[in-house]
Structure 1
Amino acid sequence: MNLWETVTGSDLTREWKAFEARAAALPAGHREAWEQIKAHLYPYSDFSGRNLMPIFDGALGLLEETAADGQDVRDVLGDDVAGFCAALAGGEGARSHRDRWREQLNRNVARKLARLGG
């Protein structure tokens, strides 16, 4: 990966298109699970989404393996796809971008209040 790809995100676009091509080959139930996984993992993304690419790759690989073995997707993921995704992203307490923004806002407000009061 070179600097230009990093700046423009073209490497992510290529990788994402490869993910979608792999997902298109999955059975219908597994494709639906892929869509749910994407929706539930996005809140854990950083600004570019680069931090989630290995997680997406692993989750898609799991879906591919279970489809090849003929397993039902519910047997693997369970009924709580959101919980599964939270565990993939680092546990139930994993911080999302909203949490980081909230913490940053609280720090900035606390600094301003300290300047006004001190």
Structure 2
Amino acid sequence: MNFWETVTGSDLTREWKAFETRAEALPADHRAAWGQIKCHLFPHGDFTGRNLVPILDAALWLLEETAADGQSVHEALGDDIRGFCTALAGGAGVRTYRDRWREQLNRNVARKLSRLGG
């Protein structure tokens, strides 16, 4: 990946298109699970989502393999897709982008208030 691709995000666009092309080949229930996985993992991404690419690739690979073996989504992922995604992202209590932004905002406000106070 070169500097221009990093700045413009064109590498990510290629990755997402490749993911969606692979997902289109899945059976309907696996495609639905793929949509839920994306929704539940996005809060754990950074600003660009680059940190999610390997995780999403692995999750999609798992869906592809289970579909090829004839397994259902529930056999592969269980009934709790949100919990599956939380485990993929690093477990319960892992920080999301909202947590990081909240902490940054609190630090900035505290710094501004300390300047006003004295």
TM-score interval, smaller chain: over 0.9
Structure 2 equivalent of residue 68 of structure 1: 68
Q: 1:29 is aligned with what amino acid?
A: D
Q: Separation in 2 of the partners of 1:79 and 1:95?
A: 24
Any gaps of 5 or more consecutive residues in structure 1?
A: none
Task: Report how far residue 110 of structure 1 moved.
Answer: 1.6
Q: Separation in 1 of the partners of 2:15 and 2:105?
A: 33
Q: 2:20 is aligned with what amino acid?
A: E
Task: Report how far residue 79 of structure 1 moved.
Answer: 1.4
Task: Report how far residue 17 of structure 1 moved.
Answer: 0.6
Q: Separation in 2 of the partners of 1:87 and 1:56?
A: 13
1:1-118 equivalence runs, <5 A = 1-118=1-118
Any gaps of 5 or more consecutive residues in structure 2?
A: none
What RMSD over aligned residues (CA atoms) do the two structures have, in Å?
A: 1.0
Q: Separation in 2 of the partners of 1:112 and 1:5?
A: 36
Task: Report how far residue 116 of structure 1 moved.
Answer: 2.5
Give the fraction of aligned pairs with identical amino acids, expressed as a percent: 77
Deviation string 1:30-81 (CA, Å, 9 cap, x unpaired) is 0000000011111111111111000000000000011111111111211111
Q: Separation in 2 of the partners of 1:83 and 1:115?
A: 43
Deviating above 4 A after TM superposition, structure 1's stretches of 4 or more consecutive aligned residues are none
TM-score (norm 2): 0.95
Q: Separation in 2 of the partners of 1:100 and 1:111?
A: 17
